[in-house]
Structure 1
Amino acid sequence: MLLSTRPIRWPVGAAQCAGRLWRGAHLTLCSQPPPTDAARRRRQLREAFAEQERLLLTQLRIEELSEAERTAHEAHQRAVEAGHFTYDDPETGLRVLTRLRHFLRGQCCGNACRHCVYGHEAVPESVRARRRFNSAFWVDAPPPSDERDRALPSDDPEDVDFV
């Protein structure tokens, strides 16, 4: 009886290729290599991210977002659902990193990113004070009311500075 030296190519589902058959027989029963530790770690991170994302979406207050913020949130959600690390901001056209990318990075980069999942922990306090979380992502906070009052022009003609 002549045995073939070619490995059998089982369908992934039949061979349970997620690493459950790795006992020496994996290479002959499956067309895919066994998952590496790095692949397992990536899968665990993505599962942890999915859980965190579900929790965040339950706390989302969509009715409190402006129209531009809603549009940005929807663009972000589409990118995350597709597994993308970036999306183009509909308002500015700039490329923005998604929460998925930030989560997989593992720590705050300190740039006060829109979708930081680490609470801007590495952002300088002076910058962090000017940002707020709007239940979907980080945005620039409005200035305190006393600064806003000073920034408004006065109705008194004597207060006008001529240059």
Structure 2
Amino acid sequence: MHLASAWIWSYSARLSSVGALESNVQHGNLVVTLLLSFLSEMLARAFASRYRRCHLTRCFWTSAEEDANPGPKTEEERRQKTAEYNKIFHDMDESVCFGRLSDNERKIYEAHKLAVQRADKSYIDPVTGFNVFTGLFHYLRGYCCGFGCRHCPYQHINAKDEVKEKMVFNSAFYVPKTTSSTS
């Protein structure tokens, strides 16, 4: 707590020199404001030290990969990347083994295929009702986020080993190993 009091003291000393502390009410509000500012700064530092790859940019936490490849910048680039993904998806579509898919996985496959054909970023999972990002969305992002997404076109390259171990590719998309072994 010594660090907090030193930080508040240095800020209040700077502000008092310019006449900001004119009354007790203003002083009380200033202390509360400074304390909240200090706490948010300490939380940001703790978060940044825990996740070294991230940094604060425009009030959003972003990875270095996202800064390096933020995806298509113009509408023309977006159309080009969408056409590239459609070719990749067409090749994947031809290699799907429908005999390995359960009924629910077939429904998911069809919903995803329809969403990609319409160039949608997401679709509603017909089994759970959750909103799911399409492979096109992930491809347009330009990198693997590392969360083990169902339609990751980057083979979960940035996912942690424990995430990779829990997922298996069923010839159409990634599913949890327990689901694929029971279906």
What's the TM-score, normalizing by structure 2?
A: 0.56
How far does the alpha carbon of each residue in 1:14-53 deviate from its partner, in whole angstroms, 9 at most, with x for none? xxxxxxxxxxxxxxxxxxxxxxx82321121111111101
1:41 corresponds in structure 2 to 77
1:114 corresponds in structure 2 to 150
- Equivalent residue for 1:85, pick from 97, 121, 125: 121
CA–CA separation in structure 2 for the residues paired with 1:90 and 1:42: 28
Give the alignment of 1:1-163 within 5 angstroms.
38-142=74-178
CA–CA separation in structure 1 for the residues paired with 2:88 and 2:127: 26
- Secondary structure at the counterpart of residue 107 of structure 2: helix
CA–CA separation in structure 2 for the residues paired with 1:76 and 1:40: 24
CA apart distance, 1:70: 0.3
| Structure 2 counterpart of 1:114, one-letter code | R
CA apart distance, 1:120: 0.5
CA–CA separation in structure 2 for the residues paired with 1:55 and 1:42: 20
5+ residue gaps in structure 1?
A: 1-36, 146-163
CA–CA separation in structure 1 for the residues paired with 2:113 and 2:167: 21
Identity of counterpart residues, as a percentage?
Answer: 38
CA–CA separation in structure 1 for the residues paired with 2:123 and 2:75: 24
CA–CA separation in structure 1 for the residues paired with 2:155 and 2:90: 17
CA apart distance, 1:142: 3.0
| Structure 2 counterpart of 1:74, one-letter code | E
CA apart distance, 1:126: 1.1
Higher helix share goes to which structure? Answer: 2
CA apart distance, 1:130: 1.0
CA apart distance, 1:64: 1.1
